[in-house]
A and B are shown apart, each in its own frame.
Chain A
Amino acid sequence: MEPVAADLTGAGPTSRASHLLLVLPATLFVLVVFALPVAWLLSRSVSDPAWGLDNFRTVLREPVYLGLMRNTVQISVATTVLCVLLGYPVAHVMATCPRLTRLLTFVVLVPFWSSVLVRTFAWMVLLQNNGLINRALLGSGLVRQPIEMIFNRTGVLIGMVQVLLPFVIFPLYGSIRAIDPALMPAAACMGATPARAFLRVQLPLTIPGLTTGATLVFVLSLGYFVTPALLGGRRDVVIARMIQMEIGQFGDWGVAAALSLVLLVATLSLLGFSRLLVRRGRPT
Chain B
Amino acid sequence: MNAGRLWRWLAYTVCGLVAIYLIAPMLIVVIISFSSSALLTFPPPGFSWRWYQNLVTTPAWRESFTVSLEVMTLTALLATTLGTMAAVGLAGRRTRWLAGLRTLLMAPLVVPQIVSAAGIFLLLDACGWVGTIRALVTAHTVLAIPYVVATVGAALETTDPGLVPAALTLGATPSVAFRRITLPLIRPGILSGLLFAAVLSFDELIVSLFLSTPRTRTVTVQMWSNVFGDIDPAITAIASLILLVSMLLLGAYSLIGRRRGAGSVVMPL
Tell yes or no: A281 within 8 A of B by CB.
Answer: no
Q: Which residues of B lie under 8 Å from residue A21 when comparing CB positions?
A: 89
Q: Which residue, of B118, B120, B202, has the highest number of chain A Cβ atoms within 10 A?
A: B118
Q: Which of B49-57, B59-67, B69-77, B78-86 contacts the other chain?
A: B78-86
> Chain A interface secondary structure, helix, strand, loop or mixed?
helix
Give the residue of A29, A117, A263 whose beta carbon is less than 8 angstroms from that of B142: A29
Question: Chain B residue with minimal CB distance to A5?
Answer: B174
> How far is it, in angstroms, between the C-alpha of A121 and the C-alpha of B104 when the chains are bound?
34
Residues of the B chain whose Cβ atoms lie less than 8 Å from the Cβ of A243: 114-115, 118
| Chain A: CB-nearest residue to B112 | A223
Contact of B12 among A19, A93, A195 (CB under 8 A): A93
- Chain B CB within 8 A of A113 CB: yes
Chain B residues within an 8 Å CB radius of A128: 231
Of the candidates B105, B112, B122, B149, the one whose C-beta lies within 8 Å of that of A264 is: B112
Q: Which of A's residues lie within 8 Å of B, judged by CB?
A: 1-2, 4-10, 15-16, 18-27, 29-42, 86-87, 89-90, 92-94, 100, 104, 106-119, 121-126, 128, 130-132, 135-136, 162, 165, 167, 170-171, 188, 193-195, 198, 212, 215-216, 219-220, 222-223, 225-226, 230, 239-240, 243-244, 247-248, 253, 256-257, 260, 263-264, 267-268, 271, 275
* B10 at interface, CB cutoff 8 A: yes
Residues of chain B having any CB pair with chain A under 8 Å: 3-4, 7, 10-12, 14-15, 18-19, 21-23, 25-26, 28-29, 32, 40-42, 82-83, 85-86, 88-93, 97-98, 101, 104-105, 107-108, 110-123, 138-139, 141-142, 145, 149, 161, 164-165, 168, 173-179, 182, 199, 202-203, 205-206, 209-210, 220, 223-224, 227-228, 231, 235-236, 239, 242-243, 246-247, 249-250, 253-254, 265, 267-269
Residues of A contacting B105 with CB < 8 Å? 23, 26-27, 30
- CB contact under 8 A between A29 and B141, given known A7-B89, A93-B12, A124-B231: yes
Residue contact A264 to B115, C-beta cutoff 8 Å? yes
For A131, list chain B residues within 8 Å (CB): 40
26 pairs of residues in contact across A and B, judged by CB atoms under 8 Å: A1-B179, A5-B173, A5-B174, A8-B178, A26-B86, A27-B86, A34-B111, A34-B120, A38-B120, A41-B118, A92-B11, A93-B12, A104-B19, A113-B246, A114-B203, A114-B243, A118-B29, A121-B223, A135-B42, A136-B42, A225-B206, A240-B114, A243-B115, A247-B121, A256-B118, A260-B112
Question: Which residues of chain B are within 8 angstroms of A170 by Cβ–Cβ distance?
Answer: 265, 267
- The closest CB in chain A to the CB of B268 belongs to A216
Whether A116 and B145, one on each chain, are in contact in the complex, defined by CB atoms closer than 8 angstroms, is no
How distant is the Cα of A20 from the Cα of B250 in the complex, in angstroms?
33
Cα distance A117–B266 when bound, in Å?
A: 20
Contact of A263 among B21, B112, B139 (CB under 8 A): B112
Inter-chain contacts of A23 with B (CB < 8 A): 85-86, 89-90, 98, 101, 105
A119 touches B101 (CB 8 A): no
What A residues does B268 contact at CB under 8 A?
A: 216, 219-220
A246 vs B106: C-alpha distance when bound (angstroms): 27
Q: How far is it, in angstroms, between the C-alpha of A249 and the C-alpha of B103 when the chains are bound?
A: 34
Contacts of B174 in A (CB 8 A): 1-2, 4-6, 9
Q: What's the minimum C-beta distance from A19 to chain B, rounded to whole angstroms?
A: 5
A sample of 20 more A-B contacts (CB under 8 A), given A108-B22, A135-B41, is A4-B175, A7-B92, A20-B89, A38-B115, A39-B119, A93-B11, A93-B15, A117-B220, A117-B223, A117-B227, A118-B239, A121-B227, A171-B267, A195-B3, A216-B269, A223-B113, A226-B206, A240-B113, A243-B114, A248-B210
| Distance A20 CA – B182 CA, assembled complex (angstroms) | 19
Q: Which of A15, A37, A119 contacts B120 (CB 8 A)?
A: A37
Cross-chain contact A33 with B29 (CB below 8 angstroms): no
Docked pose: A2 CA to B254 CA in angstroms: 32
